[in-house]
Amino acid sequence: MPKVKTNRVQYPEGWELIEPTLNELQAKMREAENDPNDNKRKCEALWPIFKIAHQKSRYVFDVYYRRKEISKELFDFCLDQGYADRNLIAKWKKPGYERLCCLRCMQPRDHNFQTTCVCRVPKHLREEKVIECVHCGCKGCASGD
């Protein structure tokens, strides 16, 4: 008889500190994914998912880089297991991208005139004072706001 593989994950030390928050955000994510999209534009249906994914990544980033409460091993574990977005966190470490909402907002190929999203424009330079990003619903993530 063939051996049965078990998929047991060994959690690093300190996991119990961040587990409740990550589980809560994961439950919110499941709820947002199952939410009916009645009376919403096609792009608006994904906004809650982008927002929760941003919250999870920001939480892991803050706990490791700002508060220094978790180890490098646990931080890498969270990135490898998909609890946080590795590329978004890499951008947050660069100057000018500290408040970036999602990676689609800075990619020129997804926008008219090959520029970045309107939410990346500082508030004092905008013609319209109240805007919403088409991709993720962000109201402004420029670092100078």
Q: Are residues 65 and 116 in the same domain?
A: no
Q: State the total domains in the chain.
A: 2
- Domain residues for 113? 95-144
Q: What distance in Å separates the CA atoms of residue 111 and residue 52, rounded to the nearest whole number?
A: 23
Answer for the pair 62, 92: CB distance below 8 angstroms, yes or no: no
Which of 30, 114, 96, 100 is CA-nearest to residue 61? Answer: 100
Provide the CB-side half-sphere exposure for 40 (13 A, CA).
13
Provide the percentage of residues in the chain whose pLDDT is more than 90.
43
pTM of the model: 0.84
pLDDT, position 36:
83
Looking at the fold, whether 62 and 122 belong to one and the same domain comes out as: no
Do 4 and 58 fall into the same domain?
A: yes
Q: Are residues 46 and 110 in the same domain?
A: no
CA distance 73 to 61: 14
Query: Do 3 and 55 reside in the same domain of the chain?
Result: yes
Q: Average the pLDDT over 77-102 and give the result.
A: 91
Q: What number is the average pLDDT over the span 105-128? A: 74
Which of 92, 115, 135 is the C-terminal boundary of a domain? 92
